[in-house]
Amino acid sequence: MASVLGLTDTAAEISGEIADAVDIDAAVEIGFVKRAYRRGTAGIRFRTAAWKFLRPQEPHWDDLKALAKSVGADHMNLPAFCGRLRDECNEIVREHSDLKRWVCRRLALLDAVVVSRKLDRSRRDEVFALRNALSDCTELLVTDPAEATYLSENLCQAAILGAGNAVVDAIAEVAGLNANLMFSVPCGYRVSGSAERLANQDRADRLWQNVGDHTHRLVVLAESTGASHVGFWVPVIPSGPGVRLPGATEAIAGNASLVLKEDLPPLRGFSHQMESDWEAYMQREFNHDLFLSLPVRVPGRSTPVAVLNVNVNVRQETKRHWYRAYGAYWTRQAEEYAWEFLDLALRGMMLVAQRSAGMPALDCGVPRPAAAMLLPASTEVTEP
């Protein structure tokens, strides 16, 4: 440790002698001189660490220990080091406000070490109730299909709201939220139903009229109560070098995608007209502070089967915490927290799709309930 701190062996010996003289156990281990050195140089060492941390090459989890060692702070435990480094980064933001967004993105990694966010305990009760309701809905599909469909729609709405709430549990506080589920369908599919759904579809038609060729689109087919996005769609365009459409399109390729209204990510590989259409749409029509698109993965499938969008309004003081969603650690945790609700929503959607006119054929890794397989006739009790 002495060499790491730049102390000479002599200095280390002296500190040991001092510690012996004052006969304090802790002083024997650390040493008065070392402690004085650490205190005296902490400011410059952590400022150095902060600038190293903010360099263009994005640091990874494993780099944090090496960073601590490089500035002689490896005697600290990692959360304490990261907490102090976070304070120093915030200090840099105070001095250089232009760097705020850059620093906020980087803080996602430090927050992953320092901040612990937990799923609300009530999620377990909610999932349990919805799972039992799903079981009843599945059985009702035989005897009362209209009611089964109606209840399944309600179940989906509750499950999607639960998923959105779980995502917020995982990442940061919000003032308000709603959520929706998008599914991939061929371009020829058109929603039917209420005027609101048709208007959402028309809005998307106008927005993406210059996007170019694509064979599939992601359509909002279910949402939390009253969110009013069903019918809206985005094109499915394979991302690659030089091509990027943030949001659900990115999520269906397997990468969570955060879109902050005040810090819009760039579109890549599209015409200037398309870029300006999208920016104008986000500024004028998108009435939330941000949205997070998460891939919905099911076991046995190599690619996501749907996309969960969580639309969020944030309070000014917690806005910067949402930059965490640029970090894979946070979005993986969000996917994990939301998973049980998403599983329920997918199964509910399959029940809805079974009976509802105008629903596309969904392939989301969940078996379509076949009426003949639902319930043996002998166990069903018909009402008098």
Q: Which chain residues interact with other proteins by CB under 8 A?
A: 120, 122-123, 125-126, 129-130, 132-133, 136-137, 139-140, 143-144, 147, 151, 154-155, 157-158, 161-162, 165, 168, 173-178, 224-228, 287-288, 311, 313, 379-383
Asked if residues 32 and 19 have their Cβ atoms less than 8 Å apart, the reply is yes
Shortest gap between Cβ of 94 and other proteins (angstroms)? 27
Total residue count of the chain as it appears in this document: 384
Closer residue to other proteins, CB minimum distance, 176 or 212: 176
Place of tokens 């010996």: 13
Closer residue to other proteins, CB minimum distance, 184 or 200: 200
Strands in 29-119 per DSSP E: none
Shortest gap between Cβ of 159 and other proteins (angstroms)? 8
DSSP, collapsed to helix, strand or coil, labels residue 372 as: helix
Closer residue to other proteins, CB minimum distance, 293 or 311: 311
Residue 90 has a CB neighbour count (10 Å cut-off) of: 15
Closer residue to other proteins, CB minimum distance, 70 or 143: 143
Cα distance between residue 293 and residue 308, in whole Å = 6
Shortest gap between Cβ of 65 and other proteins (angstroms)? 34
How would DSSP label each residue in 283-311? Answer: HHT--SSEEEEEEE--TT-SS-SEEEEEE
Cα distance between residue 115 and residue 107, in whole Å = 11
Shortest gap between Cβ of 147 and other proteins (angstroms)? 6
Closer residue to other proteins, CB minimum distance, 34 or 123: 123
Place of tokens 């998923």: 163
Closer residue to other proteins, CB minimum distance, 61 or 128: 128
Shortest gap between Cβ of 355 and other proteins (angstroms)? 15
Which amino acid is located at 69 in the chain?
K
Cα distance between residue 158 and residue 341, in whole Å = 9
Shortest gap between Cβ of 327 and other proteins (angstroms)? 22
DSSP-derived secondary structure letter, 366: S
